[in-house]
Amino acid sequence: MGADWLLGGRLAAPFGWRASLRFKGRIALSVAAIALGVALGYAIHVINASAVDEFSRGLRVASGAADLSIRGPASGFSASIYPLVASAVMGASPVLELSLMAAKEDGPPVSFTVLGIDALRAATIAPALVGEAVEALDPLRDDTIFLSAALALRLGKQSGDRLTVRAGQLVQELRVAGLLGAQAPLGELGVMDIAGAQWLANDPDRISRIDARLPPEEPIALAIKRLRVILPAGVSVERVNDAVLAYAGMSRAYRVNLTVLALVTLFTGSLLVFSAEALTTARMRGALAILRVLGMTQREVMLALLRRAAVLGLAGGLLGVALGATMALGVTHYFGSDLGAGYFRGVPPASVWRPFAALAFVLAGGLAALVGALLPAIEASRSDAATALKASSESLRFDAFARPRHALVLLGIGTLLIAVPSIDGLPYAGYLAIACFLVGVIGLLPRLSALCIALIPRVGNVAALLSYSRLERSPVEAAISLAAMVAAVSLTVSMAIMVTSFRLSMIDWLEQILPADLYLRGTVAGQLDYLDADAQKRLTAIDGVRRIEFTRIDAVSLDSRRPKVLLLARDVDALTITDRLPLLASIKPVAGDVQVWISEVAAGAYGYATGDRMRIPLGELVVDAVVAGVWRDYGRQQGAIVMERRRYALLTGDTRANDAAIWHAENSSVASIVDALAPLADRLQWTTPGELKASSLRIFDRTFAVTYALVAISIMIGMAGLSAGIGAGVATRRREFGILRHLGLQRRQIGVMLACEGGIMGFVGAVIGVATGWLLSLILIYVVNRQSFHWGMDLHMPYALIGTFCAALIVLAALVAVVSGRPAMQGETVSAVRDDW
């Protein structure tokens, strides 16, 4: 009874909060690091989950009871396919999707999507799309439109109002016949009669898709097979849910990379817990020994230590989830739920509370702390009570550090993992390799830091030499202080190298991809916004235009579970292509073949190389093409295929264009061509390559904003971790300083010694961190990025940035050592020596 009380109460205090408070700086840091990792992970998860939820809800509503969706390229396919499908299934609902612009009295025009439907067909398949009409025939009229609540609000229109829309170059007045019901998709959406939509599209033969319902007894797989037989090869039959997969897949790699960054932050948190716990348990060795003598078992000691760490981790996790939810709200508010990358435009703010995910992330925080505390807890519980009581030494000996073999094995595994290809489109092996390298390097830290210290020439005065010898003799303690810093520095450096390489490669790429003087396109994005043959002729005839090249943008599905690949029909041929695209590889063209030049992304994602034949489904036909070249493209993450426009027009009969590139004549200028275009400002927009480059880089920087923020945070954590480690070490060395003072050292000399110690620590951390970071950046560039995004980049080292960063680290470390040593250096030397006795 008595012993229980002792153990359960006062004697257990060293594990409790009162003890913890003494190390509140380090504890706060560990909690903060864990919270940050959790917050980032949770925010990414929540934002993505709500974006996908909303998308699939919208899809469910829009497709209703449909089992299958018959789709073609983005330009659609012939309406003549509709009767084939309709007579082969139980219900078929044709849809034409358009993007329209609506004029707004106050403010810029609004662009929105319109679904052209046959209300009588949709009524049995997707009733939510059929508007609530006052007049029964209104859903069938070709000059009426039904607005979703969100769109009506945005446009300030209600039932009965007139709405002027522009489709491509056609302006048309529609009557708002009503609103879509409460079951309709939440976003900004309009619904029209399909004949009206075709009228607007000025193409009575095109439709975008057919939603089909099967008899309940027919298996979907069988129906797909059956339909494939009757449909032209260029039209695909997809399960409705495939679109959700394609949608989620669009941002998947980006998302997973961010999540891994979050995990790395969490890992840094683990390392901070590790060094905090290691140093704390070392200080508590005497108290722990007393507890052991009083009858506490090894197991109980260990569990008590772990419990404390778990509480810290869970606190960090809770804080992190709250922070992550706030982040998600902020991010969706300011960027849209695409994290600034442009993936999830127009999705309503995330619902940020997801109980199961929140629980998982809180637990992940706890787990991170437990992992960090495990080694110190084992170490502390194992130490022999008698020696611990007797020994005054606080030097640390970690068994884990004593066996470098494990660390070497990890490095070896990491090296092997680099060669492993992606699994399911994601570079899992690459991530694992990064983890192996990080943990391996940290395991080798005592030896690596000793090696680094040995490299430093022994020069200078007594104080400097003293700092060398102290660091040489306590490599494990140095390693523990350095662990979190090395992790943070290597993460920072690897990200910096990767982003710099990417950014510079992107600038090179922009130079090559934008050779013309002026770029022209319609003001609405989308298929409708075309320049017809007549418009092309007129543009070509403008004075001062030396050369004009048009592009028709289409999109084709090579795999129904992936986003459509862009098909760019450009005015190029085998000769001019080398000046237009940054080709990475090409072959001599074969006469007669349809040649395509595919982007690196398309090549990587679908496994094509130059010389391969590929089949491109293009509506009613499938084009058998030869991959004549692979080019670098950072612009289109879904992949792109370039085809000669002449060919495309021959194959599809479509001679329209979406974009144009203009070269001015010698005696003309961009300005004079722009002048000539000025009266068309509301129909066309144009931009110079300079503006395009600037806006591309702006988009790039915004996409990496999250990465930059994370890098900044990890630098701060790294710095804070280092100063806490050094500070804690120095502050408890009163006794040592007293002896040194007795031996005749001046206070100033001790200060120099501490500065040297700190500086050397900073230097060692920086060297190992930069080396590790460089290694990790290679994995990021050549393995992770290649496998997840399929784009290559050239390695560019940000020497100045890394140099400045390292110098700052070293100076900071020196400063922290001196500042935190100051209290220990003060007071009487005699009392200082006696103090800890």
Partner 1 sequence: MSALPWLLMMLLVFVPAFGSAVAVAYPTVKAGQPLVFPRDHGAHPDYRTEWWYITGWVNPDSAQPLGVQITFFRSRPGIGEANRSPFAARQLLFAHVAIADPRAGKLVHDQRAGRVGFGIIGAATETTNVWIDDWSLALAGDRYRARIKAKDFTVDLTFSPTQPILLQGDAGFSRKGQRPGQASYYYSQPQLIIDGRITYRGAPMQVGGSAWLDHEWSSEVMDEGVQGWDWVGLNFADGTALMAFQMRKPDGTVLWRAGTRRSAHGATQPIEGSGIRFESRRLWRSARSGAQYPVAMRLHAGNESYELEPLFDDQELDARTSVGAIYWEGAVRVMKEGQLIGRGYLELTGYWQRLRF
- Told to check if 533 binds partner 1 by CB under 8 A, we report no
Among 11, 110, 123, 391, binds partner 1 (CB under 8 A): 123
- Told to check if 28 binds partner 1 by CB under 8 A, we report no
The tally of CA atoms less than 13 A away on the side-chain side of residue 340 is: 19
- Told to check if 218 binds partner 1 by CB under 8 A, we report no
- Which positions from 669 to 708 touch partner 1 by CB under 8 A, shown as an x/- string? -------x--xx--xx------------------------
Of the candidate spans 53-61, 191-199, 566-574, 738-746, the one that interacts with partner 1 by CB under 8 A turns out to be 191-199
User: Least distance to partner 1 from the beta carbon of 556, Å?
Assistant: 24
Q: What's the per-residue H, E or C state across 728-788?
A: HHHHCCHHHHHHHHHCCCCHHHHHHHHHHHHHHHHHHHHHHHHHHHHHHHHHHHHHHHHHH
Q: Nearer Cβ to partner 1, position 3 or 120?
A: 120
Q: Nearer Cβ to partner 1, position 205 or 593?
A: 205
Of the candidate spans 232-240, 447-455, 533-541, 745-753, the one that interacts with partner 1 by CB under 8 A turns out to be 533-541
User: Least distance to partner 1 from the beta carbon of 570, Å?
Assistant: 23
User: Least distance to partner 1 from the beta carbon of 699, Å?
Assistant: 29
Q: Which of residues 701-740 bind partner 1 (CB under 8 A)?
A: none
Paired tokens of 358: 């929140």
Residue of 274, 264, 481, 304 lying closest to 372 (CA atoms): 274
Q: Which helix (H) or strand (E) holds 805?
A: helix 799-825
Q: Nearer Cβ to partner 1, position 121 or 786?
A: 121
Longest dimension (CA), the chain: 103
User: Least distance to partner 1 from the beta carbon of 114, Å?
Assistant: 15
User: Least distance to partner 1 from the beta carbon of 214, Å?
Assistant: 14
Paired tokens of 743: 């031996």
Of the candidate spans 69-77, 194-202, 432-440, 798-806, the one that interacts with partner 1 by CB under 8 A turns out to be 194-202
Per-position DSSP letters for 701-735, written without gaps between them: HHHTHHHHHHHHHHHHHHHHHHHHHHHHHHHT-HH
- Told to check if 193 binds partner 1 by CB under 8 A, we report yes
Residues 6+ apart with CB under 8 A from 358: 42, 321, 325
Q: Residue 518 and residue 672: Cα distance in Å, rounded? A: 11
- Told to check if 410 binds partner 1 by CB under 8 A, we report no
Among 8, 204, 421, 592, binds partner 1 (CB under 8 A): 204
Q: Residue 639 and residue 737: Cα distance in Å, rounded? A: 65
Q: Are 143 and 116 in contact (CB under 8 A)?
A: no
Q: Are 295 and 7 in contact (CB under 8 A)?
A: yes
Q: Are 75 and 619 in contact (CB under 8 A)?
A: yes
Q: Which of residues 566-595 bind partner 1 (CB under 8 A)?
A: none
User: Least distance to partner 1 from the beta carbon of 211, Å?
Assistant: 15
Q: Residue 737 and residue 828: Cα distance in Å, rounded? A: 11
Per-position DSSP letters for 465-479, written without gaps between them: HHHHHHHHH-HHHHH
Q: Are 465 and 458 in contact (CB under 8 A)?
A: yes
- Told to check if 143 binds partner 1 by CB under 8 A, we report yes
- Told to check if 8 binds partner 1 by CB under 8 A, we report no
Of the candidate spans 146-154, 164-172, 314-322, 459-467, the one that interacts with partner 1 by CB under 8 A turns out to be 164-172
- Told to check if 141 binds partner 1 by CB under 8 A, we report yes
- Told to check if 216 binds partner 1 by CB under 8 A, we report no
- Told to check if 198 binds partner 1 by CB under 8 A, we report yes
Per-position DSSP letters for 644-683, written without gaps between them: EHHHHHHHH----BSEEEEEE-TT--HHHHHHHHGGGTTT
The sign of the torsion formed by the CA atoms of 809, 814, 815, 820 equals: positive
User: Least distance to partner 1 from the beta carbon of 326, Å?
Assistant: 48
User: Least distance to partner 1 from the beta carbon of 116, Å?
Assistant: 8
- Told to check if 542 binds partner 1 by CB under 8 A, we report yes
Q: Is 581 exposed, middle or buried (0-12, 13-18, 19+ CB in 10 A)?
A: buried
Please report, in angstroms and rounded to a whole number, the separation of the first and last CA atoms in the chain.
34
Q: Nearer Cβ to partner 1, position 300 or 532?
A: 532
Among 21, 541, 591, 800, binds partner 1 (CB under 8 A): 541
Among 511, 543, 624, 836, binds partner 1 (CB under 8 A): 543
Q: Nearer Cβ to partner 1, position 384 or 682?
A: 682
Q: Are 742 and 460 in contact (CB under 8 A)?
A: no
- Told to check if 97 binds partner 1 by CB under 8 A, we report no
Q: Nearer Cβ to partner 1, position 80 or 387?
A: 80
Of the candidate spans 169-177, 308-316, 440-448, 634-642, the one that interacts with partner 1 by CB under 8 A turns out to be 169-177
User: Least distance to partner 1 from the beta carbon of 204, Å?
Assistant: 4
- Binding residues vs partner 1 (CB under 8 A): 79-80, 82-83, 86-87, 94, 118, 120-121, 123, 136-137, 140-143, 169-173, 193-196, 198-199, 204-205, 534-535, 538-539, 541-543, 676, 679-680, 683-684
